[in-house]
Chains A and B, each alone.
Chain A
Amino acid sequence: MNNYKFNYDTPCHSDNDWSDSSGGSKYSDSESSVPEWDSDVGDDGELFFIKTKSIICDNEYTTPLLENCETFKLRNNFKRSSIRRSTKGRIFRALRVNKKKNTNTDITKKNSTEKTKSGMQHSEEDNNLFVIIMVSRNMIFTSEKNCPIEKLFGLSLETHPDGRSLIISDFLIESRALYTPKVEKGYYLHKINDIEVNSGNINIVLDRVKEDHNNLKLTFKIPAEEFHINKERLLTSKNGIEHSLTMFLKESMCSILYICSNDTEYNSIDDKGVLYCYPRPFSQNFLYNTRGIYITLNHLAPKALGTSAPVTSTVLYKNVLLNVSYTIHYGNLLLIAFPNKQVDLFATNKICASIVRILELLHGSINNCFTKPNNVDKLDKLFSLIFVTLLVKDDTGFKCDGAVTYFEDLLAAHAVTLPLEVRVQVDDAITELEAADYREWIDDVEKFQRIYTVIGCCLYYTGHILSSHLQNEDLKEVNAYLRITGILGLSVTKELEKLVIWKEVFIYEHRNRMKNDGNDYRIPDGRWFLLVVGRGHFILATLMEAGGCTEEAIGVTPPSPFYVEECESCLDLLYEVGLDKYLATWFSSNTMPQVETAPENLSKAGRKVKDANSMKSDTILRTSTLRLPKFNSDMKKRHSSSEQINMGSSSATENVNPFGSHHSLYNQWYGTQKQYRHSSLDISYSEDSNSLKSNSEVSDDRVQGRRADRERNRLDSSGSDSDWERQDGSKASSSFDVTDIRKSLLSEIDHITTHRITAGDDNVLFHFIQLESTTGVLIAPVKNIESQANNVLYSHIIKTFRSACQRIHDLLQHSIRFKINQAPSNPLNKILIAVKEFGILFQVPQNLNQSTKRSSEPMQFWAVGRVFSEPEPRELYVCYHESIPQDLTEIAYLLSYLE
Chain B
Amino acid sequence: MSVIVIAVASESGVPIFTRKRGCGDNVQFSTVASLHGINMFSKCHNLSIIDTQVDNGTILWKEYCKSVTLIGMATGGLECDLELLLSCVHDVMIFYIGKKELESMKNIEQIKRDIRQCYPILDYLLESLDPNIGINIHPTIALDVIQSILCPQAQQLQQVLDNYAENVTGRWACLTIHGNLVATSSDFHELDPREARLLLLLAASQDGAPLRDTPVYLPHMSPNATFRAVTCKLLADVFILVICGATPALTEIDEIVLRCWEGHAQAIKEAKLTYPRNFPMSISFETCILGILVVNISKRRCVYSRHLIVSSQKTRSMSGSHRTDILRTFYVTAARYLVSELKVVDGANKDLWADNVNETYWNSEYHKCHAQRSGNILCCVLYTATIPVHTMRFITSRIIQDLNTSKEVFW
Residue of A nearest to B328 (CB): A831
If the complex has contacts A305-B31, A308-B56, are A799 and B348 also in contact, measured as CB distance less than 8 A? Answer: no
Please report the C-alpha to C-alpha distance between residue A814 and residue B364 in the assembled complex, in whole angstroms: 12
Residues of A within 8 A of B401 (CB): none
Please report the C-alpha to C-alpha distance between residue A835 and residue B382 in the assembled complex, in whole angstroms: 13
Residue of A nearest to B389 (CB): A885
A residues 244-295 in Cβ contact with B at 8 Å:
286, 289-290, 292-293
Binds B, one of A203-211, A522-530, A821-829: A821-829
A315 at the interface (CB under 8 A from B): yes
Q: Do B55 and A315 touch across chains, with their CB atoms under 8 A apart?
A: no
Please report the C-alpha to C-alpha distance between residue A612 and residue B73 in the assembled complex, in whole angstroms: 62
Please report the C-alpha to C-alpha distance between residue A300 and residue B27 in the assembled complex, in whole angstroms: 11
Residues of A within 8 A of B358 (CB): 841-843, 860
Residues of B within 8 A of A311 (CB): 52-55
If the complex has contacts A340-B348, A842-B358, A843-B357, are A313 and B31 also in contact, measured as CB distance less than 8 A? Answer: no
B57 at the interface (CB under 8 A from A): yes
Residues of A within 8 A of B47 (CB): 286, 290, 293, 315-317
Q: Do B365 and A839 touch across chains, with their CB atoms under 8 A apart?
A: no
Give the interface centre of A313, A340, A800 by most chain B CB atoms within 10 Å. A313
Partner of B363, one of A289, A296, A835: A835
B1 at the interface (CB under 8 A from A): yes
Q: Do A310 and B360 touch across chains, with their CB atoms under 8 A apart?
A: no
Residues of A within 8 A of B349 (CB): 803
Please report the C-alpha to C-alpha distance between residue A247 and residue B348 in the assembled complex, in whole angstroms: 27
Please report the C-alpha to C-alpha distance between residue A814 and residue B76 in the assembled complex, in whole angstroms: 12
Nearest Cβ on chain B to A880's Cβ, whole angstroms: 12
Q: Do A829 and B360 touch across chains, with their CB atoms under 8 A apart?
A: no
Residues of A within 8 A of B366 (CB): 834
If the complex has contacts A306-B75, A843-B356, are A826 and B56 also in contact, measured as CB distance less than 8 A? Answer: yes
Please report the C-alpha to C-alpha distance between residue A800 and residue B350 in the assembled complex, in whole angstroms: 11
If the complex has contacts A834-B365, A837-B363, are A829 and B77 also in contact, measured as CB distance less than 8 A? Answer: yes
Residues of A within 8 A of B357 (CB): 840-843
Residues of B within 8 A of A898 (CB): none
A445 at the interface (CB under 8 A from B): no
Nearest Cβ on chain A to B321's Cβ, whole angstroms: 12
Q: Do B41 and A314 touch across chains, with their CB atoms under 8 A apart?
A: no
A844 at the interface (CB under 8 A from B): yes
Nearest Cβ on chain A to B188's Cβ, whole angstroms: 33
B residues 20-50 in Cβ contact with A at 8 Å:
24-25, 27-28, 30-31, 34-35, 37-38, 41-42, 45-50
B63 at the interface (CB under 8 A from A): no
Nearest Cβ on chain A to B63's Cβ, whole angstroms: 12
Q: Do A292 and B41 touch across chains, with their CB atoms under 8 A apart?
A: yes
A301 at the interface (CB under 8 A from B): yes
Partner of B78, one of A312, A829, A860: A829
Residue of A nearest to B4 (CB): A305
Residues of B within 8 A of A826 (CB): 55-57, 75-77
Partner of B55, one of A308, A340, A811, A831: A308
Nearest Cβ on chain B to A251's Cβ, whole angstroms: 16
B213 at the interface (CB under 8 A from A): no
B353 at the interface (CB under 8 A from A): yes
Nearest Cβ on chain B to A138's Cβ, whole angstroms: 48
Residues of B within 8 A of A301 (CB): 52, 54, 59
Interface size on B, residues (CB 8 A): 60
Q: Do B362 and A835 touch across chains, with their CB atoms under 8 A apart?
A: yes
B279 at the interface (CB under 8 A from A): no
Nearest Cβ on chain A to B151's Cβ, whole angstroms: 30
Residues of B within 8 A of A317 (CB): 46-48
A344 at the interface (CB under 8 A from B): yes
Residue of B nearest to A845 (CB): B356
Q: Do A811 and B333 touch across chains, with their CB atoms under 8 A apart?
A: yes
Residue of A nearest to B54 (CB): A307
A residues 748-804 in Cβ contact with B at 8 Å:
799-800, 803
Residues of A within 8 A of B326 (CB): 831
- How big is chain A's contact interface, by range? 35 or more
Q: Do A297 and B38 touch across chains, with their CB atoms under 8 A apart?
A: yes
Please report the C-alpha to C-alpha distance between residue A845 and residue B355 in the assembled complex, in whole angstroms: 8
Nearest Cβ on chain A to B172's Cβ, whole angstroms: 37
B84 at the interface (CB under 8 A from A): no
Q: Do B49 and A313 touch across chains, with their CB atoms under 8 A apart?
A: yes
Nearest Cβ on chain A to B395's Cβ, whole angstroms: 14
Residues of A within 8 A of B407 (CB): none
Please report the C-alpha to C-alpha distance between residue A785 and residue B360 in the assembled complex, in whole angstroms: 27
A554 at the interface (CB under 8 A from B): no
A838 at the interface (CB under 8 A from B): yes
A309 at the interface (CB under 8 A from B): yes
Q: Do B75 and A832 touch across chains, with their CB atoms under 8 A apart?
A: no
Please report the C-alpha to C-alpha distance between residue A856 and residue B47 in the assembled complex, in whole angstroms: 49
Q: Do B31 and A300 touch across chains, with their CB atoms under 8 A apart?
A: yes
A53 at the interface (CB under 8 A from B): no
Q: Do B389 and A835 touch across chains, with their CB atoms under 8 A apart?
A: no
B106 at the interface (CB under 8 A from A): no
Interface string of B50-77 (1 = CB under 8 A from A): 1111111101000000000000010111
If the complex has contacts A314-B51, A340-B348, A835-B364, are A293 and B41 also in contact, measured as CB distance less than 8 A? Answer: yes
Q: Do B49 and A293 touch across chains, with their CB atoms under 8 A apart?
A: yes
Please report the C-alpha to C-alpha distance between residue A828 and residue B1 in the assembled complex, in whole angstroms: 9
Residues of A within 8 A of B42 (CB): 290, 293, 315
Please report the C-alpha to C-alpha distance between residue A839 and residue B365 in the assembled complex, in whole angstroms: 15
Give the interface centre of A300, A828, A841 by most chain B CB atoms within 10 Å. A841
B411 at the interface (CB under 8 A from A): no
Please report the C-alpha to C-alpha distance between residue A321 and residue B345 in the assembled complex, in whole angstroms: 14
Residue of A nearest to B364 (CB): A834
A627 at the interface (CB under 8 A from B): no
If the complex has contacts A318-B46, A831-B325, are A800 and B363 also in contact, measured as CB distance less than 8 A? Answer: no
Nearest Cβ on chain B to A3's Cβ, whole angstroms: 48
Partner of A827, one of B1, B59, B355, B389: B1
Q: Do A841 and B359 touch across chains, with their CB atoms under 8 A apart?
A: yes
Nearest Cβ on chain B to A283's Cβ, whole angstroms: 12
Please report the C-alpha to C-alpha distance between residue A8 and residue B138 in the assembled complex, in whole angstroms: 76
Residues of B within 8 A of A803 (CB): 349, 352-353
Q: Do B34 and A310 touch across chains, with their CB atoms under 8 A apart?
A: no
Partner of A832, one of B77, B359, B367: B77
Nearest Cβ on chain B to A832's Cβ, whole angstroms: 7
Partner of B54, one of A289, A310, A838: A310
- 12 A-B pairs with CB atoms under 8 Å apart are A290-B42, A296-B37, A296-B41, A304-B31, A308-B54, A308-B55, A312-B52, A829-B76, A831-B364, A836-B363, A837-B362, A839-B389
| Sample of 5 more A-B contacts, CB < 8 Å, known A307-B54, A831-B326 | A290-B45, A312-B53, A829-B329, A836-B364, A866-B363
